Amino acid sequence: MNAQTNLPPASLANLEITLPTALELCRLGLATLIDIRQLFEIELKGAIPGSVHIPMFEVKLMLGQTLTEDEQDILDAGQPKDMDAQTFFTMINELHHGRDHLLLCICNSGRRSLTAASMLHSLGYPKALSVAGGFQAWKKWMATTPATPSP
């Protein structure tokens, strides 16, 4: 069992999607990229255009879950976003059920997003996945992929 997600390691592999596949699903309008990083991380490293920001640590606290020491340290490094349950579930339901979209969680490296995808599964959102490699993979992809004209 994975201590952070309460899922066996084989189950975690089923929650990951590659960055190129994630970007194509978003381009086709079949998925929404959910940036789960803390606001200060986005301000420091950059935002991903078209993503929806839902900070995972605030969600965990709002749901009454205990943060690990590392998670609390990251939360304490910035200014937490005030999120209540109604706001969170309204946002997720509009994305997941309203649009019948895949929820593609992305963090900095792909580790926290696995936890977020697992958490969303446990809350009844089976179309939640984690983007492998996270923001770091996205930044490399953007640096090495030629720009394509917008339709």
* String of DSSP letters for 6-74: SS-HHHHHTTEE-HHHHHHHHHTTSEEEEE-S-HHHHHHH---TT-EE--HHHHHHHTTPPPPHHHHHH
Mean pLDDT, range 33-44, rounded to an integer: 92
Which pTM does this prediction carry?
0.79
**In a domain? residue 35:** yes
**In a domain? residue 16:** yes
**In a domain? residue 13:** yes
**In a domain? residue 81:** yes
Domain that holds residue 115: 9-144
Q: Please tell me the total count of domains within the chain.
A: 1
Mean pLDDT, range 45-73, rounded to an integer: 85
**In a domain? residue 88:** yes
**In a domain? residue 93:** yes
At 149 the three-state DSSP class reads coil
Q: How confident is the model at residue 2 (pLDDT cuts 50, 70, 90)?
A: very low
Task: Give CA–CA dist 125/107, Å, rounded.
Answer: 18
pLDDT at position 134: 96
**In a domain? residue 1:** no
Element holding 108 (H helix, E strand): none
pLDDT in tens, 73-94: 877 777 666 666 777 778 777 7
Mean pLDDT, range 30-49, rounded to an integer: 93
* CATH code of residue 95: 3.40.250.10
Ramachandran sector of residue 64 (left: φ over 0; alpha: ψ -120 to 50; beta: rest)? left
Nearest Cα to Cα of residue 22 among 139, 109, 145, 138: 138
Residues pairing with 31 in the sheet: 102
